[in-house]
Structure 1
């Protein structure tokens, strides 16, 4: 190893300037202006634009066109704000996806082994790869030991043998001495010199890695899509129905004094509009029929192809108009009289009713819902990353909040992963500082770890257990690099969870003949040894180490005459060499974190490869096991022997599984899921990948193998169990934030729809104008989505049992609270309309006051939504300053619209006294929200 000096710092800079960074150029991004224009593809926005143009056209004739201009301005504000928020969220996702380029890689630089981010690997770098690592660049092998690489990402070959020996004849796609970026080491280890990085690599040329990952809809997204479809269907149906009813009422109203010609034109126009909008109301009717279980008997057909659909609808409307003209001529109805057709009274009434129906759609459809989910996910993911949880898959964020069981590793997750040799007992050890040569070789050569000597304190690069042994050697004045340089490795098979041991076959300059060195679990190594080499004191020592919760490793050796050994061959007839006890202290925060999980209704199970004594000792210290709870533990082999029925019966009571193998872990996860649990699993090794894949949420260790990370949903950058608890906390908060927004927005929608429908029957067609509704629904809801989406987890979030993953997001309790709030708001607002009405109708000041009270009631209800699940005071400003800022912006925006909106928003300035009355009169919404929540028990 010391024969490789690697690049110097200056050579690294030169190489990066010459060949570029180790980053694959991402695929071309859609220009921002295209993303902005896409916001105008929304059917509702298109309808509103048409309505605004009609309003302006009619307004030009009567001098009242500012409302149409106001609609366009409101549309622009709403779409631009939605674009800015979603664009920002997409950039946050992009940053999170780039974190993969920061994962550490082992390289040799300046004559020593060190760790650098993957993106910093340059051409000429000497890279060390071990089992489970992803190869960070293309290169040529300098050394290899039993190296097997999974090249399926490039060639489809899951298992390719690699060798450092160049050859001109080979049957594989790439030369056996060539390794490629993006492939994974499945066995063995090697050293290679980088020949290409970034776009110059094979995978960079084929642009496979540049493919954008398409995330399938999550269960939460599906729920929200279904809810939006229900609401939209109902909204379109109600809107068309309201338009027809209002028009019919207008036609039969004698006060309007319409002529026969005008009534005829109005009837034909309404029918034509109904036909043109069939693409919206037909699906709505079908959806409603499906709700009332009549879809099997009644189903309105319409063309499925969009273009054909529009042509059919347009042709039908034109045919109707043509028939109307023919009938009018036959009946001598003069419909061509311009004074009749262009009568401003007729057109304004028709536009008014059309506006009512469009307003119903605007206020009913929850446009801010998807943005609330996007913002909540982006914000939660960013915060989780800041707390050492790198989220790789969106659904993991929400699913983690529903976790009922966490199956956790011990080393590094519950413990500090700072292993130190505390106790040892070697044959031939005289007690002096000098160790026997066989012990030195066993610790230095039969290992895959390295020490980074580039800065103090020295750090371990690679396997922490192997690294602890190397540091112990170094503390005794022994440089493992010298021993490795004097050893010729003929075969090496790294440690695996299935085998429970590692072996190295080779020849040392310090020892005559070939040596087979073995280390691993004591019971495994001892089973390979000659009985006479095992003294009775060894078993006593071993038991003493294990009772102290030390991780024990046994060593053995034999002289060999063979030049190779297969991975499947288990050596026999070894000579026992000794044992060491390694201490890995429990993390200080683990007992508190596990206690918090138990309080939150989450069961924690430890799955470890350690022996029973060590596992139980750690389990007790961590708070997983009571002092007399040995019956709550089971070994992997014993668990394997249990039939499924028996395993399902005992599994809830199992807290610790020791001597566990990957298959035991996988089976445990599968059986827990059969018991309807949402299971989160931690893992760091290649063999943990099946369990990580099977789990509802797979959490890979940041120090683990690339295979484990690729199989995971979340990467724990600090390997800490507390980070898992934080992920659960954020997952629950995310779900609750979306529920808060649903409550807030649907309350507004229900009240606004009811008010708009009630308005004509109180003597005023539009108590709230389209521009006012756009402010309330599109702009105010956009702000509310941002405010509620950024609410951090509160103290109460971990004091409740996990939610059911099958529970509808709008729970029955929240729905009752929503309906109760909406009914109260509706009664208050209708009462206010009746109070304000007088013989002359409504004055502009009356309608301005009504609009202001409506908005202020929703403003205070935003605070009710914030504290829907408790944990935060109504006016608690310190926990979320962004919420306070947004609430202030909403209030200032409302003030500006009322005071300066004028004809565009149909408002007149209010006095300071009126503002004070409105604010004080609407503040009881907070008291009502508190009392209603207590009664409904959310």
Structure 2
């Protein structure tokens, strides 16, 4: 970075000259040069692990180190072949661990990249949204309420711009920003003409020229010193770690006991060495030391898959929590609906007007109640209403690639499109009216106000738009058109009642209703005014109502049906009128015709205490006219009733609710603050995507459970087989018997675990996955049914392999080969059985998981290669088998189908009768 300037002491034009920029922003060719010069606007993680360090970290595993020690012991004793093979297995294990972790890290990094916040800047005079990391010094930064400031910048325009700088200064009081050049050097907290990276825009809007990026920002200097890469384990990973530790202790205890007994019974050097290698190898083979890593990788890859389906998971634990969701509290606009507002009805001066046209194309007609086309030029009331709606507005219409689109809020956009239908261009209006102030829309206020100077009449207007009941509470007069002239009369109670009645009528037709009003204020061009809402938003003149529709998304209806079948309650939370919300809810199938008692308004919530709301929480379907703060009360009530809650939000005031919910879901179109407080971001803002993500979350957890049953089935079976043969040999044959040699155990581990198991990790969703009740987050990973199936598998495999071993015991090498072959065949069949703990193999689509099939085929080919090719098999102490031997091994292995099918049929009958 060049010389550090005190930007707050410099004039704006001087800053433009230093940074070689202008109010129109940088040119594209300049941006490329600056990005090369200054780098990305991000703070690099000092502790980021390189691929080499990641690979070397695999050797920190205690059991891997023990295995390496066993390799050394083999070399000392002259068992070169054993040492080489064990070392190869060590390299394979660590390489696979590295690849899984590296892939997982890349997946997580990719998700962070996708969900990274954006910044709005001017480039070549055009507003563009870019990733924050692409911001460079000299960029013109556009700031709106809810934005997280992307870089340090000098303010060049401020419209009630208010910043929360507590993250930087520790001061909780918001700071109002201006453009005035400071005369003396002051502390950061007192630099009112600067905004800093990492701070949050609370109110208003502004424009700034970027002065510093990356580690040169004030926040970057601190973050550079305090950067850390600590990542908290997910709850699932913690539980898996606990299981792994308990199993490790159990396995090592068993192995130690066997080792001690073996040494006592046969205290020879060769026997001790053989026992050391066998014991250590068995421990490494059967203790799932990489299980937490594989679980994390599965969650990360699942999250990556979700991101392709437009649901970006920002925190891995969200994947497992998705399967527990019992209630989805969803905003209406844009999530349940298309967010393509179109004005359908207008009410001005006791006149009801219908409007034709669809979407954002500015084509349509204005029709009165008799069906006649209205001459807009002769209708002063309509013109005034359209003028207010257009100027109390930050949206614009753009025409690109043959299509019309709007910038900004869809409600605002619909009003600008409506004015264009009346040939009332926003550009022309803004040529006559100059904005001199504004009070931005806030959900609590339910209105937006702009102040304009009319250059043709030298008057100053206050234009207001918002919720009808809110505006009417501030209104004292009505605008009418009397004989072609403006006429303002005092508003009588019956006038207000009629307007509310018309508004309710529109709402019952699923129309969102916006009211517009205005007033004059004193014009003093020489006065630098600060506009205060309480002073100017009073004694307003009511002009009209606009009824617009945002149609429900077609796919949401099916998603609602899926939710109900899955035991998930969809709940609508909206700032819209109660009647509008009910109409949409009924159309989507969220509520029936006579479900009026399942609706609460913000006013109702204010009157209720916590216990009353908690009592009703599981019955309410729609919350209307609510404020962001009400979301916290709703979440509390639902949680107290035992719900696991997903909550959507997009505004800065939604962030507390997103954090408090079990799964906070932000909209991609929402504020950066909302995104950072969320667990998941929807790139399409669609409710149906939430339901798809829940299905994926359930499937991932289900697959992890399948994977656990699978690896435990052969891990426990190995212990039982080896322990049983050890004691039988020791006491009946006067020496320990080893059905599998150390390197055979290791080979079986590699062949069995890493191919079919990975296939189980990506098993397609069960057909009934969304017909099951949500999972209790406190339930064990392995259900009683899964444990029962596991016991049956272990018993079948252990008995079958033990029988095979003693049948062929006359030739120890062949017996061990037969045990190895039978064990592998058992587990290949087992991989398909583990796809469901209740459905018969006949009911599972065999070919629906190609990766499992390929994994099983790969494992079988490897087994045949090792056994049937003598040159390879001799290194693993195995001999080729005859066709009869293979048939025997296969017949024994097929017994697991019989035993598990009997168990599944029995467990289904028990469930049906209970």
CA shift in 2, pair 1:541/1:914, >3 Å: same
Structure 2 residue corresponding to 1:886, chosen from 855, 875, 888: 855
Is 1:555–1:578's contact at 8 Å kept on the other side of the alignment?
Answer: yes
Aligned to 1:512: 458
Relative to structure 2, which stretch is displaced further, 921-930 or 781-790? 921-930
Structure 2 residue corresponding to 1:448, chosen from 394, 406, 418: 394
Aligned to 1:820: 792
CA shift in 2, pair 1:207/1:873, >3 Å: farther
Structure 2 residue corresponding to 1:96, chosen from 102, 111, 115: 111
Aligned to 1:729: 695
Query: 3-state DSSP class of the match of 1:494?
Result: strand
Relative to structure 2, which stretch is displaced further, 74-83 or 616-625? 74-83
Is 1:166–1:176's contact at 8 Å kept on the other side of the alignment?
Answer: no
Relative to structure 2, which stretch is displaced further, 227-236 or 584-593? 227-236
Is 2:838–2:904's contact at 8 Å kept on the other side of the alignment?
Answer: no
2:680 maps to 1:714:
yes
Is 2:215–2:224's contact at 8 Å kept on the other side of the alignment?
Answer: no
Relative to structure 2, which stretch is displaced further, 30-39 or 583-592? 30-39
Is 1:408–1:681's contact at 8 Å kept on the other side of the alignment?
Answer: yes
Structure 1 length as normaliser, TM-score?
Answer: 0.84
Is 2:329–2:571's contact at 8 Å kept on the other side of the alignment?
Answer: yes
Is 2:337–2:550's contact at 8 Å kept on the other side of the alignment?
Answer: yes
Structure 1 residue corresponding to 2:56, chosen from 37, 41, 53: 37
Aligned to 1:215: 231
Aligned to 2:438: 492
Superposed CA offset, 1:533-558 (max 9, x none) = 47365334322211110111111111
Q: Distance in 2 between matches of 1:75 and 1:379?
A: 25
Superposed CA offset, 1:209-261 (max 9, x none) = 994553322221221122112111111222222212222233xxxxxxxxxxx
2:284 maps to 1:362:
yes
Structure 1 residue corresponding to 2:206, chosen from 190, 214, 219: 190
Query: 3-state DSSP class of the match of 2:211?
Result: strand
Q: Distance in 2 between matches of 1:32 and 1:481?
A: 56
Aligned to 1:797: 769
Relative to structure 2, which stretch is displaced further, 426-435 or 416-425? 426-435
Structure 1 residue corresponding to 2:75, chosen from 45, 52, 56: 56
What is the aligned residue count?
834
Q: Distance in 2 between matches of 1:176 and 1:233?
A: 62
CA shift in 2, pair 1:574/1:171, >3 Å: farther
Aligned to 2:521: 560
- CA positional deviation for 1:581: 1.1
CA shift in 2, pair 1:715/1:235, >3 Å: same
Superposed CA offset, 1:104-151 (max 9, x none) = 443334444443444444444333221101222332222111111122
Query: 3-state DSSP class of the match of 1:699?
Result: strand
Alignment of 1:245-394 (within 5 A): 245-250=261-266, 266=267, 346-394=268-316
Query: 3-state DSSP class of the match of 1:606?
Result: strand
Q: Distance in 2 between matches of 1:630 and 1:510?
A: 51
2:209 maps to 1:240:
no
2:510 maps to 1:549:
yes
2:133 maps to 1:161:
no
Structure 2 length as normaliser, TM-score?
Answer: 0.86
Aligned to 1:422: 344
CA shift in 2, pair 1:21/1:30, >3 Å: closer
- CA positional deviation for 1:722: 0.8
Aligned to 2:486: none
Aligned to 2:330: 408
Aligned to 2:819: 850
Relative to structure 2, which stretch is displaced further, 20-29 or 889-898? 20-29
Q: Distance in 2 between matches of 1:194 and 1:879?
A: 54
Q: Distance in 1 between matches of 2:164 and 2:216?
A: 20
Query: 3-state DSSP class of the match of 2:258?
Result: helix
Q: Distance in 2 between matches of 1:30 and 1:899?
A: 43
2:888 maps to 1:931:
no
Is 1:372–1:789's contact at 8 Å kept on the other side of the alignment?
Answer: no
Aligned to 2:144: 130
Aligned to 1:656: 622
**RMSD over equivalenced CA pairs, Å:** 2.7
Q: Distance in 2 between matches of 1:78 and 1:359?
A: 12
Q: Distance in 1 between matches of 2:413 and 2:337?
A: 16
CA shift in 2, pair 1:543/1:86, >3 Å: same
CA shift in 2, pair 1:211/1:106, >3 Å: same
Alignment of 1:609-648 (within 5 A): 609-648=575-614
Q: Distance in 1 between matches of 2:597 and 2:894?
A: 58
Is 1:22–1:118's contact at 8 Å kept on the other side of the alignment?
Answer: yes
Structure 2 residue corresponding to 1:439, chosen from 377, 385, 391: 385
Give structure 1 regions of 4+ aligned residues with deviation exceeding 6 angstroms.
871-875
Query: 3-state DSSP class of the match of 2:441?
Result: coil
Aligned to 1:767: 739
- CA positional deviation for 1:5: 4.2
Aligned to 2:779: 807
- CA positional deviation for 1:413: 0.6
Aligned to 2:706: 740
Query: 3-state DSSP class of the match of 2:96?
Result: helix
CA shift in 2, pair 1:86/1:176, >3 Å: same
- CA positional deviation for 1:652: 0.8
Superposed CA offset, 1:188-210 (max 9, x none) = 11122333444554444444599
- CA positional deviation for 1:439: 3.2
- CA positional deviation for 1:66: 1.7
Is 2:752–2:824's contact at 8 Å kept on the other side of the alignment?
Answer: no
- CA positional deviation for 1:649: 1.6
Aligned to 2:484: none
Query: 3-state DSSP class of the match of 1:798?
Result: helix
Aligned to 1:47: 66
Is 2:282–2:742's contact at 8 Å kept on the other side of the alignment?
Answer: no
CA shift in 2, pair 1:731/1:181, >3 Å: same
2:93 maps to 1:78:
yes
Is 1:502–1:520's contact at 8 Å kept on the other side of the alignment?
Answer: yes
Q: Distance in 1 between matches of 2:229 and 2:643?
A: 28
- CA positional deviation for 1:603: 1.0
Q: Distance in 1 between matches of 2:34 and 2:455?
A: 37
More relative contact order, 1 or 2 (CA 8 Å, 6+ apart)? 1
Superposed CA offset, 1:611-648 (max 9, x none) = 11101001101111012111111112212322222222
Aligned to 1:464: 410
Q: Distance in 1 between matches of 2:781 and 2:751?
A: 24
Query: 3-state DSSP class of the match of 2:771?
Result: coil
Is 1:113–1:450's contact at 8 Å kept on the other side of the alignment?
Answer: no
Superposed CA offset, 1:649-680 (max 9, x none) = 21111101111112221101011111121111
Q: Distance in 2 between matches of 1:401 and 1:871?
A: 24
Q: Distance in 2 between matches of 1:726 and 1:869?
A: 24
Name structure 2 gaps, 5 residues minimum: 1-21, 352-365, 367-373, 478-489, 524-528, 730-735
Relative to structure 2, which stretch is displaced further, 122-131 or 88-97? 122-131
2:159 maps to 1:145:
yes
Name structure 1 gaps, 5 residues minimum: 251-265, 267-345
Superposed CA offset, 1:881-918 (max 9, x none) = 33333222222222222234433311112245544553
Relative to structure 2, which stretch is displaced further, 858-867 or 575-584? 858-867
CA shift in 2, pair 1:213/1:129, >3 Å: farther
Q: Distance in 1 between matches of 2:520 and 2:711?
A: 77
- CA positional deviation for 1:572: 2.3
Q: Distance in 2 between matches of 1:370 and 1:779?
A: 20
- CA positional deviation for 1:355: 3.4
2:721 maps to 1:755:
yes
